[in-house]
Amino acid sequence: MSFPTGEQVVRLRRRELLDDYSGTVTLGAWDTPDELPLEGAYVASSSTSARRDAARNELLEEKSLYLGSPDADVQAQDRVRAQGVTYSIDGMPSADVNPWTGWQPIREIPLTRVVG
């Protein structure tokens, strides 16, 4: 499902890299992430707050990612790009299930972005 007037939401995930020396898998840099368009997803405003101290003046923007599919491939370490802005996932994405009916509502995942 896509929205006729909405903008595409893209999930960004760092690529897994195999360390030749240790044989372990590590995560690559954010400059070349895997990208996955999320169908039936949108980002909506939540709040913005200012954090100021003697050394820093920054804004903390909080939004929510809404996913129409409870099975969408989104994890806690991912980022999301919508309307040209990249947000970090702030929490553990989960898909609640009604224990009596098995119905799953739209998933809401908190997002944050720090500016400044």
Instruction: Give the residue-averaged pLDDT of 106-113.
Output: 89
pLDDT, tens digit, 9 for 90 and up, residues 27-73? 888 999 999 999 889 998 876 666 666 566 778 888 999 988 888 89
CA distances from 40 to 33, 57, 87, 103 (A): 21, 35, 18, 17
| pTM higher than the cut 0.75 | yes
Q: How far apart, in whole angstroms, are the C-alpha atoms of residue 106 and residue 67?
A: 6
> How many other CB atoms sit within 10 Å of the CB of residue 76?
12
What beta strand segments (E) does 2-101 contain?
A: 9-13, 16-18, 25-27, 34-38, 41-52, 57-67, 79-82, 85-89
Cβ of 11: how many Cβ atoms within 10 Å? 22
pLDDT given for residue 27 in this prediction: 86
**Span 9-115: which CATH code?**
2.40.10
pLDDT of residue 65: 92
Condensed to tens digits (0 to 9), the pLDDT of residues 78-109 reads 999 998 999 999 887 777 888 999 888 888 89
Q: How far is CA 11 from CA 30, 73, 86, 94, 96, in A?
A: 12, 8, 10, 16, 20
| Tokens linked to 21 | 């020396």
